[in-house]
Amino acid sequence: MIRGFYTARSGLLAQQENMNVVANNMANVNTVGYKSMKVSFTDLMYRNLNRATAEEPAIVGSGVKINKVDTNINQGPPQATNNYLDFCITGDGYFAVQNAEGETEYTRSGNFIMSIDESGGYWLAAANGERVLNAEGEPIELPLDESGTPQLDSSQIGVFGFSNPYGLSKLGDNRYIATNTSGEATALENPSVKSGYLEGSGVEVSVEMVKVIESQRAFSFNSRMIQVADEIEQTVNGLRQ
């Protein structure tokens, strides 16, 4: 029964990580542009309990592990804010932001601000002050009108697509970076960007609650299997005395 003990233990560990992913989704139910994540499982190696050449081999599995965690990139609901510095991509694509190290990161969060440099220039920036990029990959400086008021046109903002957006690597803060799997970023022609809107979180609470119930039951079943395996082991040890 030691094999059964470790098999059930693998189930406990896998469901614990599954619950962590679900909890992270629930925590971001109000995060602008957040994309929910989903765990996929796979079974572990099987062992032959009798001869390898048997016509009907008796095989037993070794449990489960997390195979991968996928990101759901479906469009979140547009939410009106009436703030002209808020932008929502409707459809494919990502905004580009230049981080403090000069590297380009990508995001669906369009809650931008206006930053001012030492010389009095106005720039479009992310909420943390890092500058938003145009389609040429350059920071967006806001022109001034005759009265000295900064002007902002959504067509100035770059929107970038990837051949495989599922291959983007998550960084946190709703940021992604390109990988070999995602392919290089390409500026989209005529992207659909709405001013005065933000993309809501892609988390569906009802779906996540179903996942919570499933994970709780699986965790409970595996806990019970560990208990049963321990009880049988104690019984077997008692027979040996």
Residue 241: pLDDT band (50, 70, 90) is: low
| 181 and 160 both lie in a single domain | yes
Supply the pLDDT for residue 59.
Answer: 82
Per the structure, the count of domains in the chain is 2
Give Cβ neighbours of residue 158 (< 8 Å, ≥ 6 apart): 95, 96, 132, 133, 134, 135, 136, 137, 187
| 152 and 165 both lie in a single domain | yes
Three-class SS of residue 114?
strand
Three-class SS of residue 156?
helix
Give the tens place of pLDDT for each residue, 2-35.
Answer: 778 889 999 999 999 999 999 999 999 999 999 9
Cα–Cα dist 39/133, whole Å:
33
| 109 and 43 both lie in a single domain | no
**Helix runs in the chain, H state only:** 2-27, 205-240
In the predicted structure, residue 153 carries a pLDDT above the cut 80:
no
The stretch 155-180 carries a mean pLDDT of 93
| 189 and 226 both lie in a single domain | no
| 101 and 190 both lie in a single domain | yes
Cα–Cα dist 6/226, whole Å:
8
| 58 and 92 both lie in a single domain | no
Give the tens place of pLDDT for each residue, 34-72.
Answer: 999 999 999 988 888 776 666 777 788 889 999 999 999
| 172 and 101 both lie in a single domain | yes
Give the tens place of pLDDT for each residue, 183-201.
Answer: 999 999 989 999 999 999 9
| 55 and 142 both lie in a single domain | no
Residue 220: pLDDT band (50, 70, 90) is: very high
Give Cβ neighbours of residue 194 (< 8 Å, ≥ 6 apart): 78, 87, 88, 90, 154
The stretch 70-76 carries a mean pLDDT of 91
Q: Are 69 and 38 in contact (CB under 8 A)?
A: yes
| 43 and 100 both lie in a single domain | no
Residues in the chain: 241
Residue with tokens 């479009």: 124
| 214 and 178 both lie in a single domain | no
Give the tens place of pLDDT for each residue, 98-137.
Answer: 998 999 999 999 999 999 888 888 899 998 999 999 999 9
| 105 and 183 both lie in a single domain | yes
Domain that holds residue 222: 2-72+203-240
| 31 and 104 both lie in a single domain | no
